Structure 1
Amino acid sequence: MSSGTYAQRVNNFSQNKVARKLLETIEQKKTNLCVAVDLTKKRQILEVVEKVGPYVCLIKTHIDIIEDFDQGFIDELCILQARFNFLIFEDRKFADIGNTVKLQYSSGIYKIAEWAHITNAHPIPGDGIIKGLKEVGKPLDRGLLILAEMSSAGSLATGSYTDAAIEMARRHRDFVIGFIAGRKLTGDRLGQQYRSPTDVILKSGSDVIIVGRGIYGEGRDIVKEAKRYQEEGWNAYLERLKLEK
């Protein structure tokens, strides 16, 4: 499990401003909730973000599934980000050689590095993928999550693959801030999972819970559900602190 409060652990990330910012945001807003807004219309996305904004530390996007994407969407998203004080996590899952991912991260129509505080990548290409992304993201104070495990059935990201991903992350502590994983992998990493708040935060010791349609699915009260997940996640964290004493 992670040791100490979110605020106390800020000092563990002296080399990475975005990791510190995330921990500070979690502590200030008393929320470890990330909402995954995997919708295809920009207005739908922005409406959800405006409703959940007060209750989240992160908003997770899939920018390349938006059918009517334009720069105006990014502008509006960034206005909401500043208004509600959350970070943006683009779930891009980069998986190519260093030179290619540099261009995918910085260029094209999305220009992810300009607005996404955090993104993620598969470790399968080796250190080159982190080095390539870091050349773009580090000067902008961005952070990277490594996909050390995946929640899908039959995933090959297990065992020695996961171990190698952890070692790769340790070599790039100034840019890699944590893992996407099904369990806690190391003591001072920011892990994300897809289970109940109690399982994720209390039992597995992760730092952030990601919820999608459980909050904004058909027939759901978005604000009510966001508040519920915020409260459950935070209470699980407080219980974890009690167990650490």
Structure 2
Amino acid sequence: MKEKEHFFYKIYNLGIIKFGCFTLKSGMNSPIYIDFRPIASRPDLLIKLSDLILKEVPYHVFELICGVPYAALPIATTLSLRSNIPLIIKRKENKGYGTKRMIEGIYKKGQNCLLIEDVITSGDSLLKTVIDLEKEGLIIKNILSILDREQGGIENLKNRGFNIRSLFRLGEILKMLKEKNLLKKEEIHIIQFFFKKKKLKNIQGKRISYEEKKEKISHPIGKKLLDIALKKQTNLIVSADLIYSEEILKLVNLIGDKICGLKIHVDIISDFSFSFIDSLKKISMEKKFLLFEDRKLCDVGPTNYLQLHYGIHKISSWADIITVHVLAGSESIQNLNIPSNMGVITISEMSSSGRLSDDNYIRKALNISLKNSKVIGTVAQRKVDDRLLLFTPGIHFSDSKENCRGNTYIHPNQAFIKNSSDFIIVGKAIYQSNNPKILAEKYRNSGWKAYENVLFKKNTLSKN
């Protein structure tokens, strides 16, 4: 412990702790900022830091080291040199020229990589790095951070199955500084008040706007859906699980102005016909919403291909969006020959209680989703990567968490405030109501207000 304390006082003298008003990567405002980048100019301290890290982790089990860009890069580089473990470099963004690779270095699938971070607040930037590394087939189970801000990030990552440890905790170093009379009284009070107020179990970063999402989404259908949402001020998708075409057409004539998408299960429609599809397409164009076929393709690639393009429904000839499971792996959706005017939504997590999709499965589903250029987003009831649109099912105003049929419900506020959802999916609450038009407007209004409240930091949890 004395060795660590001695090291910390040395780096403290470099000015790594700053007081003021700062916006962190997580989107939070903070009166204290920890900046380890000055250490890069002190090779002796980088070496000492690396030696301290090597005492904390069983480094002999790792085949690669990677630092979360960019502050952790010099630390990871020095650690690589001290341990003789190869380094790989993760870019923050694609260069747009040359190899256009996100990961630089020599590596192969299945290698075990130790991830290094400088400061952990929410863990969001770490998770983005994990996703990109896992896309390359690397195994990420162990993470080491220099400092834990003790604001929920460590707990969140542990809950996701990672082995994570830190050299220092913020409370620990503040205590050390206080004992050495290196902090002013007002600084101590400000910091204590801030962390008492801000410590959360599930801290969430700043959500991005639909306009910003459009810059991250490359597929034209994803952009079109966002355009519709912005123009109509609605993020509501209605799931019309009805078995007669006349019922569906009647419903969309009532609620079409309130929604950005209609989700159907074409295989349950008893009187399916292409005249019905023609009528539905006409209404969707008039009222400006997209058609989702919730087929949930879940077979090997060739069978998925046939289900999409052939049979009596010929889904690819009319649907704007198709849903797919990724249980069969990435190849099951790679060669579907998706039309250019059709997008794919993967299923990472359903709204049923007792579902088997855990954090590990969801990470793998996201990796597959991010690799496929036809995928515009995923279905889940938790926050996912910002590079995908998030569709949240099981939305209901009811306080009941679970209904008699085993579906898990969440309120629109929770979907946006806690999960950073982009679109909410509502079914029976609307189409089984006495007045679907009024209910659709209530859900549209609630969903849009929840989005705006989060966007403009009006995080109210009041319910309709």
TM-score range, shorter chain: over 0.9
Aligned partner of 2:424 in structure 1 is 209
Matches of 1:183 and 1:225, distance apart in 2:
24
Letter in 1 for 2:425: I
Aligned partner of 2:391 in structure 1 is 192
The question of whether the paired residues in 2 share the 8 Å contact of 1:2 and 1:187 is answered with: no
Matches of 2:243 and 2:323, distance apart in 1:
20
Distance change >3 Å, CA 2–CA 215, structure 1 → 2: farther
Matches of 1:148 and 1:2, distance apart in 2:
22
Q: Deviations over 1:105-124 (max 9, x none)?
A: 01111111111111111111
Letter in 1 for 2:335: G
Residue 41 in 1 paired to residue 227 in 2?
A: no
Aligned partner of 2:356 in structure 1 is 156
Aligned partner of 1:19 in structure 2 is 222
Matches of 2:361 and 2:380, distance apart in 1:
12
- Out of 283, 293, 303, the position equivalent to 1:80 is 283
The question of whether the paired residues in 2 share the 8 Å contact of 1:2 and 1:188 is answered with: no
Q: Deviations over 1:94-135 (max 9, x none)?
A: 0011111111101111111111111111111111121132x1
* Higher helix fraction (1 or 2): 1
Distance change >3 Å, CA 186–CA 39, structure 1 → 2: same
Aligned partner of 1:54 in structure 2 is 257
Matches of 2:334 and 2:206, distance apart in 1:
27
Q: Secondary structure at the match of 1:231?
A: helix
Q: Which has the higher contact order (CA 8 A, sep 6+)?
A: 1
Distance change >3 Å, CA 105–CA 2, structure 1 → 2: farther
Matches of 2:294 and 2:383, distance apart in 1:
20
Matches of 2:440 and 2:447, distance apart in 1:
11
Unpaired segments ≥5 residues, structure 1:
none
TM-score by length of 1: 0.93
Aligned partner of 2:454 in structure 1 is 240
Aligned partner of 1:169 in structure 2 is 369
TM-score by length of 2: 0.50
Q: Deviations over 1:153-196 (max 9, x none)?
A: 22111122111111111111x21111111111111321122222
Residue 125 in 1 paired to residue 339 in 2?
A: no
Larger Rg: 2
Residue 3 in 1 paired to residue 204 in 2?
A: no
Letter in 2 for 1:239: N
Aligned partner of 1:143 in structure 2 is 343
The alignment covers a number of residue pairs equal to 239
The offset of 1:2, in angstroms, is 6.9
The offset of 1:202, in angstroms, is 2.4
The question of whether the paired residues in 2 share the 8 Å contact of 1:89 and 1:117 is answered with: yes
Query: Which runs of structure 1 show a deviation greater than 6 angstroms over 4 or more consecutive aligned residues?
Result: none
Matches of 1:110 and 1:184, distance apart in 2:
33
Q: Secondary structure at the match of 2:367?
A: helix
Unpaired segments ≥5 residues, structure 2:
1-204, 395-409, 459-464
Say what the alpha-carbon RMSD is for the aligned residues. 1.6
* Higher strand fraction (1 or 2): 2
Q: Deviations over 1:138-159 (max 9, x none)?
A: x332111111112212211112
Letter in 2 for 1:184: K
Stretch of structure 1 that moved more, 145-154 or 95-104? 145-154
Identity fraction in percent: 36
Matches of 1:140 and 1:106, distance apart in 2:
14
Letter in 1 for 2:384: L
The offset of 1:201, in angstroms, is 2.0
